[in-house]
Chains A and B, each alone.
Chain A
């Protein structure tokens, strides 16, 4: 094989056979006119916040349904946002029914599929997460297609007890069946990333493009040397390079965007790093999500309070001793149940913090919260049972008026969670006919 010189022939390269073929989500980055919001109207934002280890079932679900529902003890901290809430009962995730323990539940939470049982070989979620379905369609309209955040690095090792790699326990966002999206856990790095993405300099963007050209040149050459079974790895890298390149190209030739964000990124809000206190860490990450939404750096975010099976020590809460996972296996012990509920409630309070933050961000006559839909939930209901029936799910914000909030909706048992995602994607402006095992839209959700 001869080595070719590559001056600035990116276009030619990309047109080259093979490169695009291996990249099913490449066109994700291309803006589509159909998906963009009407000029001048604020875009809809979407976030999914994942709680590990389920909830105390009796304390989660409100006793009454409809518009006049009464908040449950765990959801009580959201009282001031009751009219912005949708509490959804009896949704289940059929795809995550099998398998041992937690891993199937978490990694399939947003994909509604069954992940392969593996310590690593053939790692596959067999789907795409709903946030990435949206990102494929409109991710190209913002500097970052989506933001993936967490508070803990992926856990060490593989779980030989149940036969899953812990990679599954740390990923809810999947760009493709074999492509979980790595999360950022340091709020400072998130800030820096938002900053770089939001305000790139044309000159440095041009230089970076030259470097990325070089990457594409080497990658293409290398790809030809690899066996079929290894090509997907180089394709993953190519895909990342390509999306970065598109972003830089937009920066080098700024086009007038249809939506003018109401606020620039605030340099004073730059976090120091990872704080010692867990609550502060979570709140800083929420600050970053709020800022990313307000500045329109991205419209899609996923966040994991913790990796699944997390044994995060919650003794900073009065009345709790011990780790999260340990308390979630309460075996109906009143002490453990009490502690478990306090931990659940703490999660809801942090969710309230984000809602507060978004509600305080004015956007014309509206607020960022009004224009968002922020989902909070878990992949199992009762932590003692590893059961994906009747999942705890709430949504906050009206998606710019698309959601009929202020209700507790209880469905017939085992209504697919995927139906909610179909409705959410609709409200987001990226409608799909079908998502995983969906059977239609979820009635009552859309306004």
Chain B
């Protein structure tokens, strides 16, 4: 096998070809774009003529990001003008991106505003659970949340609210309180005072609320903020409710308050970037690594103003990952990153052809394998490359047997399991959940699997097929001379428009052909031996999953960059911008200095500027330019 030179035809930023620099870009833009996009009346309001140097691109990154998107999708030049070749598109977009990237990173990393967002369904349920120490899923009736940004359902931009949410929150609050009052271990958590000879009901209620509100709102609460909830308590008392029921009524009010339902961070009052306050930091940490509200230790650290200290943060990361609650992080992150959440939803292997998938214990073993494996890598601070190849997995007895391994010593609970000699597994690519989620219900598809690897592992999704090109035909027409799938794919690739992407997509998928739809190993398909050879455009040749994995491992940095981007997007709860790519660069560099250890990734994200900082207050609108720091401080004093 040849050492792979570059799978990086689609590698972001690095894609700027060595022989495509400013003069080449200038020539291409002049010949192909400037004709329409010139002057104030330039097409689409875009005047290309105002960019005279490479540096000037950075004066309008928004416009150039649009250029990249439209050129990459083949929307520009428009249909009536000659199209750019795929290579020209790649060269131009690569050049623009690397230019913008360099400019964005040159003046230091800047944090973005943390967008205001509500708790998503899972965060809501976990927060209610931890507030009351009850084990019911209070969010079960809420609508599922869609995903935005880097592909996660905690992204602020897609966490919209419908009228149905208000109804559901109200119901869920009632159910949670009803349950909490009936559970002794929950009662002691929140019902910390009861009326007695020394304490009247109202004073007791105030005590309960004074302890509960800061936990529910995840910040200190002023006395006056308790009053309106006490009013609810009083209203319930007035109509004759018991003390317990009256407290429950007031707490229902807390659970439907936007102060609980939304992640609120105080607005900055001063200009210039600054560390977020300690309580916001506690929430940022806990919703990132646990998917729930902060625990007592995090609240304590916030109260003692210790959450600005990077060493404290490192210790918390280690502690939080060890905690059982980090399974929720692993589950939410992995299932959405890898798309395995769709398994059993939209993506279902055919029940008649693959009844094994429908054995509950096998299927749940499959579903949890990537999640628990990922958590194992994290908890043990293993190299992240284990995700691509490892000598163990995390399996239940049924799953181990499904893979054809001796399951002696394993029970129903999934455990870390050393793979036996000649296992043909190891790493995400050998896991059933992943192989099934990238298959059709009735057969494997090298195209889907190849696309899955490019997208999920390398973070280089292929562009959509150009318009007016027939979709790839993977199946034979009736009556047509039978051809193998590989032959048909090769035929399809004779069309240059298809070949430009499929020459990268298909071989990767073929490398996984030894796995059937639900991930079982096979040497034959329909009586014919499996051909798992692939050749990438750069001449890299591999045969079968083991060699494919080596090819991917040689692209470790591309994989790490993708994983880092995904996790940073998850941690921040928003889509990443060009500015964030500087943070990603810095983290990947740190990873490489630390043997690509898993906890380094999490710790570096937590230590990063966008995670710990926020931008300052916007400049005063009355003053046209940003006031000098001195002027500002005087202004502060006069307040």
How long is the Cα–Cα vector from A217 to B258 in the complex, in angstroms? 10
For A184, give its contact among B143, B173, B222, B618 (CB under 8 Å): B143
For B258, give its contact among A6, A208, A218 (CB under 8 Å): A218
How long is the Cα–Cα vector from A403 to B241 in the complex, in angstroms? 55
How long is the Cα–Cα vector from A193 to B228 in the complex, in angstroms? 29
The interface-forming segment of A258-266, A310-318, A423-431 is A310-318
Contact: A214 with B146, CB < 8 Å?
Answer: no
For A322, give its contact among B253, B256, B440 (CB under 8 Å): B440
A177 to chain B, nearest CB (A): 11
Contact: A2 with B224, CB < 8 Å?
Answer: yes
Kindly state whether residue B148 has any CB partner on chain A within 8 Å.
Answer: yes
Per-residue interface assignment for chain B, residues 149 to 160, with 1 indicating a CB less than 8 Å from any chain A CB and 0 otherwise = 111110101111
A312 to chain B, nearest CB (A): 7
B230 to chain A, nearest CB (A): 9
The interface-forming segment of A14-22, A151-159, A365-373 is A151-159
Kindly state whether residue B633 has any CB partner on chain A within 8 Å.
Answer: no
Contact: B145 with A211, CB < 8 Å?
Answer: no
Contact: A315 with B351, CB < 8 Å?
Answer: yes
User: Given A210-B235, A215-B258, A222-B258, are A157 and B227 neighbors across the interface (CB < 8 Å)?
Assistant: no
Nearest 7 A-B pairs (CB), nearest first?
A120-B148, A167-B146, A153-B144, A240-B166, A120-B157, A182-B143, A230-B116
Chain A contacts to B: CB under 8 angstroms: 2-7, 100-101, 117-123, 145, 148, 152-158, 160-163, 165-167, 170, 175, 178-186, 189, 193, 196, 207-208, 210-212, 214-215, 217-219, 222, 225-227, 229-230, 233-234, 236-237, 239-241, 243-244, 306-307, 310-313, 315, 321-323, 326, 329, 331, 333-336, 384
For B228, give its contact among A184, A214, A240 (CB under 8 Å): A214
Contact: A5 with B228, CB < 8 Å?
Answer: yes
CB-defined contacts of B231 to chain A, threshold 8 Å: 5-7
CB-defined contacts of B170 to chain A, threshold 8 Å: 208, 211-212, 244
How long is the Cα–Cα vector from A307 to B345 in the complex, in angstroms? 11
CB-defined contacts of B342 to chain A, threshold 8 Å: 155-156
User: Given A123-B158, A215-B257, A240-B161, are A157 and B266 neighbors across the interface (CB < 8 Å)?
Assistant: no
Kindly state whether residue B115 has any CB partner on chain A within 8 Å.
Answer: yes
B158 to chain A, nearest CB (A): 5
User: Given A160-B455, A161-B461, A233-B262, are A225 and B267 neighbors across the interface (CB < 8 Å)?
Assistant: yes
How long is the Cα–Cα vector from A321 to B475 in the complex, in angstroms? 13
Listed residue (B149, B160, B345) with the most chain A CB atoms within 10 angstroms of its CB: B160
Contact: B257 with A182, CB < 8 Å?
Answer: no
Listed residue (A119, A158, A211, A236) with the most chain B CB atoms within 10 angstroms of its CB: A211
CB-defined contacts of B143 to chain A, threshold 8 Å: 153, 182-185
B504 to chain A, nearest CB (A): 14
Contact: A225 with B161, CB < 8 Å?
Answer: no
Contact: B161 with A155, CB < 8 Å?
Answer: no
CB-defined contacts of B256 to chain A, threshold 8 Å: 211-212, 214-215
How long is the Cα–Cα vector from A12 to B459 in the complex, in angstroms? 53
Kindly state whether residue B347 has any CB partner on chain A within 8 Å.
Answer: yes
How long is the Cα–Cα vector from A106 to B592 in the complex, in angstroms? 44
User: Given A166-B147, A244-B163, are A310 and B346 neighbors across the interface (CB < 8 Å)?
Assistant: yes
Contact: B347 with A311, CB < 8 Å?
Answer: yes
Task: List residues of B (73-108) whose CB comes within 8 Å of A's CBs.
Answer: 73
B167 to chain A, nearest CB (A): 6
Contact: A165 with B148, CB < 8 Å?
Answer: yes
A426 to chain B, nearest CB (A): 26
Kindly state whether residue B352 has any CB partner on chain A within 8 Å.
Answer: yes
Kindly state whether residue B421 has any CB partner on chain A within 8 Å.
Answer: no
Task: List residues of B (225-244) whose CB comes within 8 Å of A's CBs.
Answer: 225, 227-229, 231-232, 235-236
CB-defined contacts of A155 to chain B, threshold 8 Å: 146, 342, 345-346
For A3, give its contact among B225, B235, B477 (CB under 8 Å): B225
A-B contact pairs, 6 of them (CB 8 A): A3-B224, A100-B464, A157-B336, A214-B229, A233-B117, A315-B352
Residue of A nearest to B162 (CB): A182
User: Given A155-B342, A233-B117, A240-B166, are A167 and B147 neighbors across the interface (CB < 8 Å)?
Assistant: yes
For B160, give its contact among A180, A307, A311, A313 (CB under 8 Å): A180
Known: A193-B167, A222-B262. 9 other contacts (CB 8 A): A3-B225, A3-B227, A148-B164, A156-B342, A157-B339, A196-B171, A210-B232, A244-B170, A384-B471
Contact: B166 with A165, CB < 8 Å?
Answer: no
CB-defined contacts of B611 to chain A, threshold 8 Å: none
Per-residue interface assignment for chain B, residues 514 to 543, with 1 indicating a CB less than 8 Å from any chain A CB and 0 otherwise = 000000000000000000000000000000
Contact: A237 with B261, CB < 8 Å?
Answer: yes
Residue of A nearest to B337 (CB): A157
Residue of B nearest to A313 (CB): B441
Contact: A323 with B441, CB < 8 Å?
Answer: yes
Kindly state whether residue B127 has any CB partner on chain A within 8 Å.
Answer: no
CB-defined contacts of B451 to chain A, threshold 8 Å: 161
Kindly state whether residue B271 has any CB partner on chain A within 8 Å.
Answer: no
How long is the Cα–Cα vector from A207 to B235 in the complex, in angstroms? 9
How long is the Cα–Cα vector from A310 to B171 in the complex, in angstroms? 31
CB-defined contacts of A179 to chain B, threshold 8 Å: 160, 162
Task: List residues of B (111-145) whose CB comes within 8 Å of A's CBs.
Answer: 113, 115-118, 141, 143-145
Listed residue (A157, A196, A226, A233) with the most chain B CB atoms within 10 angstroms of its CB: A157
How long is the Cα–Cα vector from A148 to B163 in the complex, in angstroms? 11
Contact: B346 with A311, CB < 8 Å?
Answer: yes
B132 to chain A, nearest CB (A): 17
